[in-house]
């Protein structure tokens, strides 16, 4: 329900299938431009030295976003197989209710309120 400030979203129904109201994506870690360039050069140099094909993909965070208001929370760093982690979370979104999903990942529903304006 909206309060006097108008920034409170309608609460998520804990019994709705999570995949109907939440989405999951991998996002890169924010880094300074200089550090990002340095890391890219190091990855390319390492790939050339080791005679590998493409350099390793930079790691990031697994983020779950509320579709109706864009509020997002980080679930975890994606330090292991990113594709497998994302597929696992998307499977959970398709199979679990909102309440079950948030409980399993330890997410406070209040964290999925509308982002602060400004």
Of 23, 8, 29, residue with least CA distance to 79? 29
Q: Calculate mean pLDDT across residues 65-73.
A: 90
**Which pLDDT score is estimated for 11?**
81
- pTM listed for this prediction: 0.65
Query: What are the strands of the beta sheet with 22-28, ordered from one edge?
Result: 22-28, 60-66, 72-77
pLDDT in tens, 38-55: 766 776 766 666 665 554
* Both tokens assigned to 15: 């019994």
Our measurement of the distance from residue 13's CA atom to the centroid of its chain's CA atoms, rounded to an integer in Å, reads: 21
Residues 6+ apart with CB under 8 A from 71: 9, 65, 111, 112, 113, 114, 115
């Amino acid at each position: 329900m909206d309060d006097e400030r108008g920034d409170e979203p309608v609460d998520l129904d804990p019994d709705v299938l999570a995949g109907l109201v939440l989405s999951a994506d991998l996002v890169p870690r924010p880094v300074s431009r200089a550090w990002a360039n340095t890391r890219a050069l190091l990855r390319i140099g390492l790939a050339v030295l080791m005679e590998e094909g493409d350099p390793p993909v930079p790691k990031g965070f697994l983020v779950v976003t509320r579709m109706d208001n864009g509020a997002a929370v980080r679930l975890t760093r994606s330090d292991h197989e990113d594709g497998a982690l994302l597929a696992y979370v998307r499977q959970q979104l398709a199979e679990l209710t909102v309440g079950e999903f948030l409980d399993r990942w330890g997410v406070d529903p209040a964290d999925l309120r509308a982002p602060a304006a400004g």
